[in-house]
Chain A
Amino acid sequence: MIELDLKIINQLGLHARPAALIAQTAGGFTSDIHLSKDQVSIDAKSIMGILMLAAEHGSTLHLTVQGADEQQAADAIKQLFENKFNEEF
C-alpha cells in the first residue's frame, strides 16, 4: 500500500475539470484508490466523491493506493497534482 499527502496548488481547487481528470486517471488502474480530507475518505474513481470533498486551493489530500499497479497509479495521480492539472502554464 502506498500513502502520500498531496497539496492542491492550482488556483481554483478541485473543480469539475480536475475532478474529472483524477477520476479518469484513477479509473485506468485496477488498484483501490482513495482520497481523504478532514476524515472523509472517497473512491478516487468517483467524480462525485472528489467533488464532494470540496477541496480548495491550499488544502492537502491524503492519497492511499492498494493493488497490483499501485506504484504506477500513485505516480500518475501525484503528477496531476504537481502539474496543476495541466491548466496553469
Chain B
Amino acid sequence: MLVLKGIAASPGVAIGPAVLLPGENVALSRQYIQKNEITSETQKIHQAVQKTLAELDACEQKVLDTLGSEYANLMSTHKLILQDPAFHKAILHKIEKEQLSAQAAILFTLQELSAEFQKIEDPFFKERRNDLLDVGKRLANNLSSGKDNFLASVKNPSLLVAHNLYPSDTINLQENQILGFCTDVGGKTSHTALLAQSLNIPAVVGLSTASKEVHAGDTLIIDGENGLLVINPDRYTLSNYRKIQRDIKKTESLLKTINHLPIVTQDGQAFKLFVNYDPRTDNKDNKRLITDGLGLLRTEFIFMGTPIPPSEDEQYSVYLAVAKRFDMRPVTIRLADLGADKRPDFPLDEFNQEENPFMGCRGIRLFLKNPELLHTQLRALVRMACEVPAQVRIMIPMVSSVEEIRHVRRAFNGVLEEFAKQGKHPTNKIALGAMIEVPAAAIALDGMIGELDFISIGTNDLIQYLVAVDRVNQEVAHLYDPCHPAVARALNTIIQTAHKRGKAVSICGEIASDAKMLPLLLGLEVDALSVTPRMFLRVKNNIRNSNFEHCSNLAQAALLMGSSEEIRNLIEQNDKHENP
C-alpha cells in the first residue's frame, strides 16, 4: 500500500482499477477483444505501421536537411525498430493468442521489451530502451485518433491516472466509465479541477509522481475529500473507505432534501446562491438544482478549437440555449477572457512573444485591441436579450481601470442603438458589471463602481495577483494562500465600497465552496456566492447551518489579524467548533 498526498480538487471517494492515459505513460489496462475482432485489430496495426513509417520518412528528410546525416541515422534506426520482425511477432501474438486490443498489445509488448533492456548493465545499451519507447508511442498514437479514442475504449468502470489532463480530455470522461481521476500536476483552481467538479466525479491533482507510481490495473482509492491517492490499499483501508463512500452517498441524498428550502442562516440572514455553469458538462442532477441563477458563464470555450472567431449566429445560439436553461432567472455571462492559458486557435497578434501571459494581453485588454471580437460578442448577447425575457448580466473580465469600463459601456450602447434602429429592444434591461480580479481594481473600486451595475469577485485570480503566485507553479503554489490577511482585507474593501453605492457583490472563485472559509465570506457581508453545481447543495447546507452574527464577529476578528497563521487558526478553530 502506498499513499500519495495531493490537492483535493473535487469531492467524493472513488475506488476501482487504474487506467493510465496513453501518451503520458506506457502502462495501460488490459483491454480484451472478441475473437471476431482479431482481424480488424491486426489490420489496425498494419495501418498504424504504414502511417508511422511515412511520418518517420518525413522526419528523416527534415532531420537530414537541418541536422545532418548523423541525426538522420537515428531516424533510420527508428524505422528499423518499427519494422522489427520480433516486435511485430510479439504484438500480433498478443492480439491473436491473448486477444488483447491493438493498443494494449503494443503497449504491453513495449513494456516487456523495455523490461528486457532494463536488465542490461551497459548504460549505452540500456539507453536504447528510449528509442524503442519513442517508436512504440508513435505507433500507439497512430492507431487511432489518440486519447479521445482511448477514453472511449475504457469498457469497465475505472480510475484515470494521468500526468496532466487537458480540459478537452476531461470533457470525454463522463460517458466513458471513468469514476474519478488524479493527475501529477495542477492545483485546486486549475480548470481541470473545475471540470471534475462539474462532472460530479472525485479528483485529486498535484500528486507529482502518481503516473509513475501507479501501474495499470492497480487498485486505487481516490479520496477527493482529503486529497489522497491510495495505491493497492490493504484490506483494512479498503473497507474503511468503502464505509466512507457509503456515508458520502447518504449525505448527498440528505442534501437533496434541502434543495427546495430557502438560503438563510439560522438567525435569518438571506444570501443568494448562484451556479457556475458549463453547458458542456450539464447533467440531470444539475438541472434539478433550485438556484438563484447563473453566476458565471465562462464563454472562452466558444472561441476554442475553431480556426476563425465564432460568428454572431454561433454565439447567439449558445446564449439563447443558456437563457432558456435558466428560465427567467439571472444569467451572468462573462465576456471571453481569452489570453494567458486560454489561447484560441485563430491568430491574434497580441499573443506573439508574451513573456508573462498572465500579466499580458488577456480579458478585456485583448478585446479592446480587437474591437470586432467585442462587438460580435456584445451583439450576440443583446440579440438574445431582445429575443427572450431573460435577465442578462454581462460581466467584463480583467478590468484594471475605469477607462476600460467606459470603452465597453460605449461599445455596448452602440450595439443597443444598432438594435434599436431595427426596432428591437432587450425585454429586460441588461446589467453591465465587472469581475474584480486585479488588485488595482479592488483598491480603486470607488472610482469605477459608479459605472457598474454589479460586481463579482474572481477570487482565484485576485488571490494569485495579490500574493504574486502562479497557482500552477509547484514551487510557489503553497504561497497561494486564501488565509493571507491581504485577502480578507481586499474582500472587505471591495464589498464595503460596493455597498456604499448600493451595488451587490458576489464571489465566484473556488474560495466560495471552501467550507472553512465560508463563515469569513458571509461575515464580510457578501451578497451572493456562485459555486459549481457539484458543490451547490453542500454550500447551501453550510449556509443554512451558519449563524450570521457569529460569522460577523469572526470576520471582524480576522480583519484585525496580521498573519495567515492567525487567520488560519481562527477559521480552523471555528470549523472544529461548528463541525466537531
Contact = CB atoms under 8 A, between A and B. Distances in A.
Nearest to B74: A16
B94 to A, nearest CB: 16
Contacts of B429: none
A41 B170 CA distance: 47
A48 B74 contact: no
Interface in A19-65: 19-20, 23-24, 42-43, 45-49, 51-52, 54, 56
B95 to A, nearest CB: 19
B252 interface: no
Q: Please give me the 4 A-B residue pairs with the lowest Cβ-Cβ distance, nearest first.
A: A46-B86, A54-B125, A47-B80, A54-B120
Per DSSP, chain A at the interface is: helix
Given A43-B85, A54-B120, 19 more contacts: A15-B124, A15-B125, A16-B73, A16-B77, A16-B128, A20-B76, A20-B77, A20-B80, A42-B86, A43-B86, A46-B85, A47-B84, A48-B113, A48-B128, A51-B117, A51-B128, A52-B120, A54-B122, A56-B122
A21 B128 CA distance: 16
Contacts of A24: 80
Nearest to B73: A17
B81 interface: yes
A83 B461 CA distance: 66
Contacts of B76: 20
Per DSSP, chain B at the interface is: helix
Interface string B56-91: 000000000000000001101100110011110000
Interface of A: 13, 15-17, 19-20, 23-24, 42-43, 45-49, 51-52, 54, 56
A16 B87 contact: no
Interface string B108-130: 00000100110011101100100
Contacts of B86: 42-43, 46, 48-49
Given A51-B125, A51-B128, A45 B116 contact: no
B125 to A, nearest CB: 4
B505 interface: no
A78 to B, nearest CB: 21
Nearest to B82: A47
Contacts of B113: 48
A14 B248 CA distance: 60
B131 interface: yes
B125 A52 contact: yes
Given A48-B86, A48-B113, A17 B77 contact: yes
A42 B73 CA distance: 23
A83 B25 CA distance: 41
11 contacts: A15-B124, A15-B125, A16-B131, A20-B77, A45-B85, A46-B86, A47-B81, A48-B81, A48-B87, A49-B86, A54-B125
Nearest to A17: B73
B132 interface: yes
B564 to A, nearest CB: 55
Contacts of B116: 52
A26 B125 CA distance: 21
Contacts of B131: 16
B122 A46 contact: no
Contacts of A48: 81, 84, 86-87, 113, 128, 132
B76 to A, nearest CB: 6
Contacts of A45: 84-85
A6 to B, nearest CB: 18
Contacts of B80: 20, 23-24, 47
Contacts of B128: 16, 48, 51
A23 B120 contact: no
Contact of B84 (A15, A16, A23, A56): A23
Contacts of B120: 52, 54
Contact of A47 (B77, B117, B122): B77
A10 B466 CA distance: 63
Residue with the greatest number of chain B CB neighbours at <10 A, chosen from A16, A20, A45: A16
Contacts of A16: 73-74, 77, 128, 131
Interface in B143-193: none
Interface string B427-463: 0000000000000000000000000000000000000
Contacts of B87: 46, 48
Nearest to A15: B124
B60 to A, nearest CB: 13
Residue with the greatest number of chain B CB neighbours at <10 A, chosen from A24, A43, A47, A49: A47
Nearest to A47: B80
A42 B113 CA distance: 13
A29 to B, nearest CB: 13
